A and B are shown apart, each in its own frame.
Chain A
Amino acid sequence: ETGVTQSPTHLIKTRGQQVTLRCSSQSGHNTVSWYQQALGQGPQFIFQYYREEENGRGNFPPRFSGLQFPNYSSELNVNALELDDSALYLCASSSGRANTGELFFGEGSRLTVL
């Protein structure tokens, strides 16, 4: 069984640039969620995809967008990067639409915006 994998693991961007983060869900999982974890804070929900459709969104501006592909992998795109976007971005997968609260997380992509 393959776990959740994310890429890249680290990246540095400058303010105003755009970034794409990628996530492969755990085998058999069709739901992917993205979280932003600022330094010293708990993860904050960005959005969730279930079977290629957005299935919930947190309080993040529209410049945060995403996709889920037929193989259930996912992308998080952030446009017009700001300094406050510096954080660890976590992808989590789960199975089904029901919210059991059990998520399987990747190791994250650490984004630094200069």
Chain B
Amino acid sequence: GDSVTQMEGPVTLSEEAFLTINCTYTATGYPSLFWYVQYPGEGLQLLLKATKADDKGSNKGFEATYRKETTSFHLEKGSVQVSDSAVYFCALPNYGGSQGNLIFGKGTKLSVKP
């Protein structure tokens, strides 16, 4: 079935460092791809999305490009801030089966130190 694999954390960076969180997927066809973020003590919120190959999703300085050749959707940010400390989840829609409307990766915890 469809699945998402993302790099395991935790990831600890200093403020203004460059961030990459890897995500690869297995899916039939070319689904939309998502990054959700969960700040401490909060629910998940959509960070960015891409709906087709070569699309770049962006929001709050974060970017991710939908690469069908490598089945990847890596999250990047050029200069992280302490406020970016959160857990990041890569996800794709499930169009069948019993996995619900979104299939999530296990999450990558990011801690940014001042």
Contacts and interface: CB of A to CB of B under 8 A. Distances in A.
A7 B49 CA distance: 29
Interface residues of A, number: 29
Interface in B58-102: 89, 91-95, 98-102
A42 B32 contact: no
Contacts of A57: 98
Contact of A99 (B44, B46, B49, B95): B95
Given A33-B101, A43-B44, A58-B99, A101 B93 contact: yes
Contacts of A58: 98-100
10 contacts: A40-B106, A42-B89, A56-B98, A57-B98, A58-B99, A90-B43, A99-B93, A99-B94, A101-B31, A103-B46
Interface of B: 31-32, 34, 41-46, 49, 89, 91-95, 98-102, 104-107
